Amino acid sequence: MVCRKAAHNLGNGLGTVVGGAVIRAGYDYAAVLLASAVAFAIPFVLVLLQRRRGVEAVRA
C-alpha cells in the first residue's frame, strides 16, 4: 500500500532529522534512539487515526 510505504518513508526521514538535531544539541546516543523512535511512530499514529475516522488509504 502506498499509504504505509509513505508513512514508513516519512518516519525514516523524521528519524534522521531528529537524530541529527539531538546529536547537534549535544545529547548522547540513547537520546537519539528515543527521539528517533518517537519521530518514527508519528506517521503510523496518523495512519491509525485516519483509519479510525474512515479515511480510505490510497492504493497504487
**pTM score, whole prediction:** 0.41
Q: Which pLDDT score, from 0 to 100, does residue 10 have?
A: 72
Q: 6-14 long-range contacts, Cβ below 8 Å, gap at least 24?
A: 6/43, 7/43, 7/44, 7/46, 7/47, 8/43, 10/43, 11/39, 11/40, 11/41, 11/42, 11/43, 11/44, 12/40, 14/39, 14/40, 14/42, 14/43
For residues 22-45, give the mean pLDDT.
75
**10-30 average pLDDT score:** 72
What's the whole-number mean pLDDT along residues 9-38? 73
Tell me what the mean pLDDT of segment 15-29 comes to: 72
